[in-house]
Structure 1
Amino acid sequence: MPTSATDRSARLNMRLTPEALATIREAAAAQQQDVRSFVLGAAMDQARFVLVTERVMRLTPTEAAQIDAALDAEPRVVPELAALIRAARTSQFTTRTQVPTR
């Protein structure tokens, strides 16, 4: 649930090694960010990636193979779809090139 930009009451604390902190500080400085912004940005990027992967890319091996096969197959023309596309293109072209009458 989205919250306003000013509602920053939630906290996250962690302990890490001095070496990890030094690496994070160096990376934050390289990006011209403070440590808090750098860590939050990196965590949010990873969180979004995980959520997209879990929500969108959840396929069984069989499903993945079916998608691969469909993408590798030669395209086939569906006559009804081709007719609709031709009609839409003709309609769009006619509409764009007509001179308005007054």
Structure 2
Amino acid sequence: MPTASARSDRLNMRVSPEALSTIREAAAAQQQDVSSFVLGAAMEHAREVLLRDRILQLTPRELDQVDAALDAEPQAVPELAALIAAVGRDATRRGAKDLAAH
């Protein structure tokens, strides 16, 4: 977090009394002052937005492909089905051994 001397810009906002009360209560629960709490929450959300924006930039063609894939009938992947079945059998065997041990 920047030191006080490194801070030069100011952010002001108007909020309803109810919103301020909620923010104060949450800040106190986190043992923070309101400014630190609001800045931390805003920075966290800003980073998430920017990350999503940078990672999930699809062209219109790519977006059409995603929509088509989501609209298509689901198809079983034989290798995945076999793996799930094998894991299930293994878990069942382990469970039976655990029961026999007790």
| Band of TM-score, shorter chain | 0.5 to 0.7
Distance in 2 (alpha carbons) for counterparts of 1:68 and 1:82: 24
Q: TM-score, normalised by structure 1?
A: 0.64
* Alpha carbons of structure 1 residues 76 and 37: separation in structure 2 relative to 1, 3 Å: same
Unaligned runs of 5+ in 1: 1-6
| Matching residue of 1:23 | 14
| Matching residue of 2:36 | 37
RMSD: 3.0
Distance in 1 (alpha carbons) for counterparts of 2:50 and 2:13: 29
Unaligned runs of 5+ in 2: 28-32
| Matching residue of 2:63 | 64
Identity of aligned residues (%): 45
Count matched residues: 91
* Alpha carbons of structure 1 residues 97 and 62: separation in structure 2 relative to 1, 3 Å: same
Q: TM-score, normalised by structure 2?
A: 0.64
Matched, 1:9 2:3: yes
Superposition map of 1:84-99 within 5 A: 84-98=83-97, 99=100
